[in-house]
Amino acid sequence: MERLFSVPLKGGKLTDVYRCSLSELEGEIESYPSALAVFDDNSRAAYEGAPPSSMILPPGEEHKNWSSIDMILQNALRLGLARDSMLIGIGGGVILDMTAFAASIYMRGARCILVPTTLLSAVDATLGGKTGIDYGGAKNIVGTFFPADKVLIVPQLLRTLPEKEYRSGLGEVLKHAILSSDDALMRFLIDSRDKVLAREDGTVMEMIRLSLEVKISYITRDPEETKGIRSALNLGHTFGHALEALSDYRVSHGEAVAWGVQRALDLGRRLSVTPPELAARGLELFSLYGYDGSYRVPEELFPGYMDAVAKDKKKKGGAVRFILMEGQGSPVAMALSTDEVRSAVV
């Protein structure tokens, strides 16, 4: 295995990020005599190995709830897992968030390895220590900070992703290009567009590495999201999460984030917060990758959209704060009026 990063997170705990092959992944999993591997139907079909102890949860955001956590905990108890045992999440963001959450509360903290099988989870859900489930109609409203021991990225697992899932991950990657303090990721995405869309292994892995570098630059300065620095990674998310909820999660997370970033860039430009050249360059990047930002929330659905915004967990002083861009790599959190939100999304 090739170690890409060693990232200090909560309490100085390190998460080591590795690139590995399928055979190396199988060997790693089999090396833990006391472990539980957690899949969903999709990731189990993609992984051909036979871990000693495993369980399969139904796929989808609608199963990111207490019932699924209870199933993980029941299996951990049934197997007699201890605090030094390993919970191994193999799947997309839903499975990884839930596996890490279950690990964080099982015996007040078991060990955890995360294996992303989607591009979105590789560049987003695996790194940073955030865990959680949806509750009361709000996304990720219940959770903990619990960094994984290891993140294992297997490029071969990304080859079989449906196009919609791959594009969902690209939405987060493009967001990171806007947040980057330099233009290395943006230039890479522009210059390597055809290879990125063709999913060439080396190109995809380099894209993931550059994208994670951007995320790491934020989370290591604010590992528990107490300084306001890490909240910048929510660029596009407040707009996007509300769209996800409004669509009953028929719109994928990455597509919703891509739409949300476009809304933030456009609104920031109109509010004279975002430099016009950055807004134009960012919107052009999303267009280059085929993201249509023209959708608008129908006026009659706007009250429901605002209800979803109000449930967003990223509040300060009781007000939901949106991330806008003051420049390349210079985000700012702002409370927006209802009329300003309406002008951005309707």
Single out the residue of 297, 300, 311, 282 nearest to residue 341, CA to CA. 297
Query: pLDDT 10s digit of each residue in the chain, 346 long?
Result: 999 998 888 777 889 999 999 999 999 999 998 999 999 999 998 888 878 899 999 998 899 999 999 999 999 999 999 999 999 999 999 999 999 999 999 999 999 999 999 999 999 878 888 899 999 888 889 999 999 999 999 988 888 888 989 998 999 999 999 999 999 999 999 999 999 999 998 999 999 999 999 999 998 888 777 788 888 999 999 999 999 989 988 898 889 999 999 999 999 999 999 999 999 999 999 999 999 889 999 999 999 999 999 887 666 666 789 999 999 999 999 999 999 999 999 9
121 in Cβ contact with 153 (< 8 Å): no
- The pLDDT, as a whole number, for residue 311 is 82
Instruction: Look up tokens 């998460």; give the residue.
Output: 15
62 in Cβ contact with 98 (< 8 Å): no
Instruction: Look up tokens 């839930």; give the residue.
Output: 98
**Domains of the chain by residue range:** 2-161, 164-345
Coil, helix or strand at residue 342: helix
Tokens of 42: 């999709």
Per DSSP, 106 falls in state G
Give the total residue count for the chain.
346
Instruction: Look up tokens 């990455």; give the residue.
Output: 254
- CATH for 164-345, options being 3.90.550.10, 3.10.20.30, 3.10.20.590, 1.20.1090.10: 1.20.1090.10
133 in Cβ contact with 66 (< 8 Å): yes
Tokens of 150: 């290891």
- The pLDDT, as a whole number, for residue 315 is 67
Instruction: Look up tokens 């230039």; give the residue.
Output: 187
Entry pTM:
0.88
Interatomic CA distance for residues 219 and 229, integer angstroms: 8
Give the CATH number of domain 2-161: 3.40.50.1970
- The pLDDT, as a whole number, for residue 316 is 66
Fold agreement (2-161, 164-345) = no
Single out the residue of 235, 306, 230 nearest to residue 264, CA to CA. 235
7: Cβ–Cβ under 8 A, 6 or more apart, which residues?
Answer: 14, 15, 16, 17, 127, 147, 216, 219, 220
**Helices and strands, number each (H, E), in the chain:** 15, 12
**One-character DSSP codes across 169-236:** HHHHHHHHHHH-SSSHHHHHHHHTHHHHHHT-HHHHHHHHHHHHHHHHHHHTTSTTS-SSSGGGGGTT
Single out the residue of 46, 266, 73, 19 nearest to residue 165, CA to CA. 46
Beta-bridge partner residues of 322: 334
- The pLDDT, as a whole number, for residue 82 is 95
Buried (b) or exposed (e) across 16-45, using 16+ Cβ within 10 A?
Answer: bbbbbeeeebbebbeebeebbbbbbebbbe
Strands 319-327 and 315-316, how do they pair?
antiparallel
Instruction: Look up tokens 């207490």; give the residue.
Output: 66
132 in Cβ contact with 66 (< 8 Å): no
Interatomic CA distance for residues 210 and 207, integer angstroms: 5
